[in-house]
Amino acid sequence: MTATLLPAAADPVGTSSPSSRPRRGSGRDISLLVMVVVVALLLSVIVGLPLVRILTVAFSAEGWSIVSSMLSNPVNRGILWNTVQLGVIVSLLGTAVGFVMAYAQVRLKFRGKRILHLISLMPIVSPPFAVATAAITLFGRNGMISNGVFGQQIDIYGLKGLTFVLTLSFFPVAYMNLKGMLESLDPSLDEAAANLGANKLKIFTSVTLPMLIPGIAGSVLLLFVESIADLANPLVLGGDYTVLASRAYLAVVGEYNVAGGAAYSLVLLLPALSVFLIQRYWVSRKNVVSVTGKPAGSPELITAPALRIPMLVMAVAVASLVILMYATVVFGGFVKIFGVNNDFTLDHYRFVLAGIGSDAMFTTTLLALIATPIAGLLGMLIAWLVVRKLKRTSGLMDFVGMLGLAVPGTVIGIGYAIAFNTPTVFAGRQWFPAVAGGSAILGGAMAIVMVFVARSLPTGQRAGISALQQINPAIDEAATSLGASSLTTFRTVTLPLIRPALLAGLTYAFARSMTTLSPIVFITTPQTKIMTSQILAEVDSGRFGNAFAYCAILIVIVLSFIGLLNLAMLHPSIRGIQRR
Amino acid sequence: MTATPESAMTTQPDARIESARDSLATATPGRVTLRDLRKIYGDDKTGTPAVKDIDLDIEPGEFITLLGPSGCGKTTTLRMIAGFETPTAGTIRLDDEVINKVAPNKRPMAMVFQSYALFPHMTVFDNVAYGLKLKKLPSARVTEEVETALTSMNLGPYRDRAPHQMSGGQQQRVALARALVMRPKVLLFDEPLSNLDAKLRVQMRGEIRRLQRRLGITTIFVTHDQDEAMTMSDRIVVMNVGVIEQVDTPQEIYRHPASVFVADFIGRANFLDVDVHEVRDDGAEVGVLGKRWSVGKHPAVAAGDVVTLMVRPESVRLSATDSREVGGSVGRVLSSMFYGEAIEYDIETEAGNLVVSVADPHAHETFTQGDFLDVGFEEGRAWLMPVAADTP
Ligand SMILES: Nc1ncnc2c1ncn2[C@@H]1O[C@H](COP(=O)(O)OP(=O)(O)OP(=O)(O)O)[C@@H](O)[C@H]1O
Ligand SMILES: [Mg+2]
């Protein structure tokens, strides 16, 4: 050949140029190994170990006797039945409400869509009791509406009240799910059906609905898991209607019967986990809508009154209920006893902002602020390892990461109490000191941060996975080819590219950390007060005003954080275009 | 190479561009050696190999092309050299050093991707500077180097653009600058031109080839476009279902293909059934089309082998005849197609149907469908080669 080796002009990089020979000995990419090991260790500590411990206790002689009496003992059978009944009713009702809201949002023509959207998301950023407490105030025995307006003495405690409150609290999950699905539905299918002579109602029942079946099934399953896992509302509103989560709570907190708690947890864990698995690996695979890809054109908004009016009436009714609930929370914080003594007072807010409650407010916010970046980054890291780096073990890591969402909070909380209230001893050595409970280091704050991370990690992980699947892997390889290690690639290329997913992950992490209760009640300590468990205490002792003030402040904190985060992400120095 | 018309990439001959290129020249191009290289995706035992025990020696400064149909293992081979895939067996050497275990980010090679793979969140400057910053070069040096690389690709004015603000051709040049600025010992390309429109693709071919000669850098180029391979390469590696069929210069591959597959894949070929009269070391005597011909042969052809005679469409010779019957040297025109610069005939003969291409139709007598012709070929361009059992 004519390889014209021109006089190689003085190599400006110098012969020290690291590219001139392969660095020997440095071998494989160590940073990848380190990342995988660190993530695996973290996951096994924050979700693996508590789960393993709860299983060992549940399968101990004492625990197993309760597990095995689940069907034979009539009381336990009743609890199991209650749990399933509540789960089924709420999941169906919540999905129906979510569907109405999503359908109105995507397909109906009306003004005020943005507001309806925000109202539909409100329950996500609020603490679990907001709706329950407001419901008691409005619709309870001495409720302002039930008694005050209609003169009825309704017993809101029990299945009725739980259904009402849980449906209002959880329908946003179905709403989000179905809204995305409706948006990605190809409008040309509607057009094709219309072309073939179908009217709007016919299109709706013969085309739209069948296409949404997998999405609807997925929502039902997710809501089922959420509602059987819920602890806060059954504690406040359950009355005699005991479910597995509240029974487990009673066992641990009231009877000091840890084995019993573990046993009920196991019974709760099985359906929750299997339904979650079905949802994730079976229903989502059947999802025809997401497969058909990009919608071609935008759907024609529906104006036909036969469909529009009933749907809109229902949507507005739901939205009004949501507004009513939160209006109650806001007002209730500023009056002595809402409905009984409506004199204006700042006592409740003083209690939370300056009094005993401020302690909990600061601690909770601080711990959530610590947990949020950890959960956000860890979620992105897991997503990246799962999508790009791991081969055979990627399914396992994905699954373990998702456990924080799939496993009911009550179960995680009891698992934490068992695993971390005493020092971790293994093979005759103490590996780390107690991190949860009264005698723990840092007053148990570490366990709370760990729980926050475990609970809020999965949402970011999911967002990260779908974001990464949109990005050409060659971009990662280009960075590698230019000399970047795995860690450097993640930091300088992957993370900036999946910034929207990170933002979503951080937002959810903070909101979820601030509002989670079920795992917290088992590990909170007098030194480390957490707002949600303080609210529970206030509601328990009937001081609804304080609870309302707590809830309102909690919502304000969450919303401010989301606002600030969005502002910060717009700032060029964080957007990371120009890394020095 | 200096007198070539300048492409759009360098609109005018520019001394700055040329000197920038000189300063990027590679001091020590790498030598790459593959031995018994094998890759099986999935299970080592049950999977079918994507690459089957290939041997290849790539000389320092050489431009070598991996060419073959889709799925033949070109990308897999290239990615093993880059380190993105781990070989199932065999060795990869760079300058006599086995690099199988060297991580991809530690290999002094740079890759240019089909999708360009520019970092969408960085400017052109930052894209090109990325690798240098990782080397912890002082920032003044980084700036200087990046400026040189951008100048050499005539990208100076675009330094602060984001990738999505540039055309495909410009992005391609950024990708090239980003690779070259690292002064790799080996430059790897995976179908880099396939996303460009036809005209730009032809321009970039010449441009990459000129640049590669000027820099003297060892280059491995993957393509399934035979024109690309023919016009750019010092040598072509023709691959088929995971094995190397032939490694040779474009001319040799075209004129003396090693197998029916290669002859068929590169250019077009007629395959004639012939009677073999005599096989010598340097050629053979064969009978076909009513005559005895003295033709070149593949070294592997021995007396008694099943063989076929390859005749390229442009080496067939046609002339008018009075005969009115197909047989012996007489054939008949089945169809003709006029391309402007050439005319193409389909000719029925006793040895089978032949595709014939006659260049510059205005300088030759043209024939029409049904004409009877005397058919022959340039003896020196015909090539006798073995028919392997598994080739079509
Ligand atoms: N990651 C992978 N996992 C499993 N099989 C693979 C993978 N990548 C490639 N293959 C298989 O290996 C064989 C060779 O693929 P390769 O990508 O090297 O082909 P190629 O020559 O580059 O083809 P093309 O011209 O289409 O790019 C193919 O049969 C392909 O299906
Ligand atoms: Mg390929």
Tokens of B248: 């040779």
Contact by Cβ (8 Å): B349, B262:
no
More confident residue, A296 or A70: A70
Taking CA atoms only, the protein residue closest to ligand 1 atom 9 is B76
Taking CA atoms only, the protein residue closest to ligand 1 atom 6 is B41
Taking 60 as the threshold, does the pLDDT of residue B156 lie above it? Answer: yes
Judging contacts by C-beta atoms under 8 Å, the chain B residues touching residue A577 are 121-123, 126, 162
Across residues B20-30, what is the average pLDDT? 77
| Amino acid of residue B11 | T
Q: What is the pLDDT of residues B377-386, one digit of tens each?
A: 998 899 999 8
Long-range contacts from A174-177, C-beta under 8 angstroms, 24+ separation: A174/A94, A174/A95, A174/A97, A174/A98, A174/A99, A174/A102, A174/A219, A174/A220, A174/A222, A174/A223, A175/A97, A175/A98, A175/A101, A175/A102, A175/A105, A175/A120, A175/A121, A176/A98, A176/A121, A177/A98, A177/A215, A177/A218, A177/A219, A177/A222
> Does ligand 1 come within 6 angstroms of the Cβ of B76?
yes
User: Separation of B74 CA from ligand 1 center, angstroms?
Assistant: 8
> Does ligand 1 come within 6 angstroms of the Cβ of B70?
yes
Which domains occur in chain A, in start order? 43-48+341-580 (1.10.3720.10), 73-332 (1.10.3720.10)
Among the listed residues A542, A311, A389, A303, the one whose alpha carbon sits nearest the alpha carbon of residue A39: A389
CA distance B98 to chain A (A): 10
Cα–Cα distance, B265 to A410 (Å, whole number): 67
Among the listed residues A244, A96, A251, A108, the one whose alpha carbon sits nearest the alpha carbon of residue A178: A96
Taking 70 as the threshold, does the pLDDT of residue B123 lie above it? Answer: yes
pLDDT at A68: 84
How many residues appear in chain A?
580
What SS3 state is found at B366?
coil
- The band of B252, judged by pLDDT with boundaries at 50, 70 and 90, is very high
Taking CA atoms only, the protein residue closest to ligand 1 atom 17 is B75
Of A103-117, A296-310, A486-500, B81-95, minimum mean pLDDT range: A296-310
Taking 70 as the threshold, does the pLDDT of residue A36 lie above it? Answer: yes
Q: Do A12 and B97 touch (CB under 8 A)?
A: no
pLDDT at B341: 85
Helical pair B198-215 and B15-23, crossing angle rounded to 10 deg? 60
- The band of A12, judged by pLDDT with boundaries at 50, 70 and 90, is very low
Please state, for a pLDDT cut of 90, what percent of chain A lies above it. Answer: 27
pLDDT at A395: 86
Q: Do A579 and B59 touch (CB under 8 A)?
A: no
Taking CA atoms only, the protein residue closest to ligand 1 atom 4 is B41
Q: Which of A142-146, A281-285, B43-47, B298-302 has the highest mean pLDDT?
A: B298-302
CA distance A393 to chain B (A): 14
Restricting to A residues 13-32, those with a Cβ less than 8 Å away from any Cβ of B are 13, 17-24, 26-29
pLDDT at A135: 87
Of B80-94, B215-229, B357-371, minimum mean pLDDT range: B357-371
CA distance B298 to chain A (A): 23
Among the listed residues A393, A285, A367, A370, the one whose alpha carbon sits nearest the alpha carbon of residue A43: A393
Under DSSP, the state recorded for A442 is G
Across residues A431-454, what is the average pLDDT? 81
Cα–Cα distance, B296 to B380 (Å, whole number): 7
Q: Which residue of B has its CA nearest to A9?
A: B23
Beta bridge partners of B92: B34
Q: Do A5 and B234 touch (CB under 8 A)?
A: no
**Mean pLDDT rounded to a whole number for chain B:** 88
End-to-end CA distance of chain A: 43
CA distance A8 to chain B (A): 5
Cα–Cα distance, A486 to A480 (Å, whole number): 7
pLDDT at A291: 36
**Strand ranges, E, within B243-290:** 243-248, 270-272, 275-279, 284-288
Q: Do A22 and B99 touch (CB under 8 A)?
A: yes
Restricting to B residues 65-94, those with a Cβ less than 8 Å away from any Cβ of A are 82-84, 94
Mutate to test the pocket of ligand 1, among B39, B40, B41 (most ligand atoms within 8 A of CB): B41
User: Which run of H or of E encompasses A386?
Assistant: none
Taking 80 as the threshold, does the pLDDT of residue A27 lie above it? Answer: no
Q: Within a 13 Å sphere around the CA of B147, how many CA atoms are in the beta-carbon half?
A: 8
Under DSSP, the state recorded for B249 is -
Q: What is the pLDDT of residues A493-521, one digit of tens each?
A: 988 888 888 888 898 899 989 999 889 88
Restricting to B residues 308-327, those with a Cβ less than 8 Å away from any Cβ of A are none
User: Which run of H or of E encompasses A534?
Assistant: helix A531-540
- The band of A293, judged by pLDDT with boundaries at 50, 70 and 90, is very low
Tokens of B185: 């010992």
Long-range contacts from A187-191, C-beta under 8 angstroms, 24+ separation: A187/A295, A187/A296, A187/A297, A187/A298, A187/A299, A187/A300, A188/A296, A188/A297, A190/A299, A190/A300, A191/A300
Q: Do B117 and A478 touch (CB under 8 A)?
A: yes
Restricting to A residues 159-218, those with a Cβ less than 8 Å away from any Cβ of B are none
- The band of B63, judged by pLDDT with boundaries at 50, 70 and 90, is very high
Taking 60 as the threshold, does the pLDDT of residue A220 lie above it? Answer: yes
Contact by Cβ (8 Å): A474, B115:
yes
Of A291-295, B65-69, B108-112, B279-283, minimum mean pLDDT range: A291-295
Tokens of B384: 């006798």
pLDDT at A144: 66
Residue B14 CB neighbours (<10 A): 13
Judging contacts by C-beta atoms under 8 Å, the chain A residues touching residue B134 are 482-484, 488
DSSP H helices in chain B:
15-23, 74-82, 124-134, 139-152, 168-180, 198-215, 226-232, 250-255, 260-265
Q: Do A577 and B122 touch (CB under 8 A)?
A: yes
Q: Within a 13 Å sphere around the CA of A265, how many CA atoms are in the beta-carbon half?
A: 36
Helices and strands (DSSP H and E) totals, chain B: 9, 21
Judging contacts by C-beta atoms under 8 Å, the chain A residues touching residue B135 are 13, 17-19, 483
Q: Do B183 and A488 touch (CB under 8 A)?
A: no
Cα–Cα distance, A546 to A348 (Å, whole number): 5
Of ligand 1's listed atoms, the one at least distance from the Cα of B224 is 25
Tokens of A92: 């169906």
State whether residue B114 sits within 8 Å of chain A by CB: yes
Q: Which residue of B has its CA nearest to A25?
A: B102
Q: How far is CA A548 from CA A131, A163, A518, A553, in A?
A: 10, 21, 19, 9
CA distance A456 to chain B (A): 27
Residue B252 CB neighbours (<10 A): 14
**Mean pLDDT rounded to a whole number for chain A:** 81
pLDDT at B150: 92
Across residues A18-41, what is the average pLDDT? 66
Residue A370's φ and ψ, nearest 5 degrees, are -70, -45
Of ligand 1's listed atoms, the one at least distance from the Cα of B76 is 18
What SS3 state is found at B81?
helix
Q: How far is CA B292 from CA B278, B299, B307, B320, in A?
A: 11, 21, 16, 20
More confident residue, A429 or A574: A429
Restricting to A residues 458-497, those with a Cβ less than 8 Å away from any Cβ of B are 472, 474-475, 477-485, 488, 492-493, 496-497
Taking CA atoms only, the protein residue closest to ligand 1 atom 12 is B50
Which domains occur in chain B, in start order? 15-108+184-255 (3.40.50.300), 269-386 (2.40.50.140)
Helical pair A544-570 and A499-515, crossing angle rounded to 10 deg? 170
Q: Which residues contact A323 (CB under 8 A, 6 or more apart)?
A: A119
Q: Within a 13 Å sphere around the CA of A199, how many CA atoms are in the beta-carbon half?
A: 6
More confident residue, A247 or B25: A247
Among the listed residues A412, A391, A402, the one whose alpha carbon sits nearest the alpha carbon of residue A464: A402
How many residues appear in chain B?
392
Judging contacts by C-beta atoms under 8 Å, the chain B residues touching residue A19 are 108, 135, 182-185
User: Separation of B51 CA from ligand 1 center, angstroms?
Assistant: 9
Burial of residue A25, with CB atoms counted within 10 A of its CB: 0-12 exposed, 13-18 middle, 19 or more buried: exposed
- The band of A379, judged by pLDDT with boundaries at 50, 70 and 90, is very high
Give the predicted TM-score (pTM) of the model: 0.80
User: Separation of A478 CA from ligand 2 center, angstroms?
Assistant: 16
User: Separation of B57 CA from ligand 1 center, angstroms?
Assistant: 22
Taking 90 as the threshold, does the pLDDT of residue A368 lie above it? Answer: yes
- The band of A94, judged by pLDDT with boundaries at 50, 70 and 90, is very high
Taking 70 as the threshold, does the pLDDT of residue A42 lie above it? Answer: yes
Contact by Cβ (8 Å): B355, B268:
yes
Among the listed residues A322, A245, A301, A308, the one whose alpha carbon sits nearest the alpha carbon of residue A84: A245
What is the Rg, in whole angstroms, of the alpha carbon atoms belonging to chain A?
Answer: 26
Cα–Cα distance, A71 to A77 (Å, whole number): 5
Cα–Cα distance, A71 to A79 (Å, whole number): 10
Taking 70 as the threshold, does the pLDDT of residue A239 lie above it? Answer: yes
Across residues B35-62, what is the average pLDDT? 90
CA distance A351 to chain B (A): 48
Please state, for a pLDDT cut of 70, what percent of chain A lies above it. Answer: 83
Taking CA atoms only, the protein residue closest to ligand 1 atom 11 is B50
Tokens of A508: 């959810």
Under DSSP, the state recorded for A66 is H
Q: Do A2 and B130 touch (CB under 8 A)?
A: no
Q: What is the pLDDT of residues A448-474, one digit of tens each?
A: 999 999 999 998 898 888 888 888 889
Q: What is the pLDDT of residues B201-211, one digit of tens each?
A: 898 899 899 88
pLDDT at A392: 82
Angle at A302 between CA A296 and CA A308, to 5 degrees: 150
Taking CA atoms only, the protein residue closest to ligand 1 atom 28 is B71
- The band of A137, judged by pLDDT with boundaries at 50, 70 and 90, is confident
B113, B135, B214 ranked by CB distance to A474: nearest? B113
Residue B161 CB neighbours (<10 A): 16
> Does ligand 1 come within 6 angstroms of the Cβ of B84?
no
Contact by Cβ (8 Å): A533, A554:
no
Cα–Cα distance, A445 to A434 (Å, whole number): 11
More confident residue, A197 or A451: A451
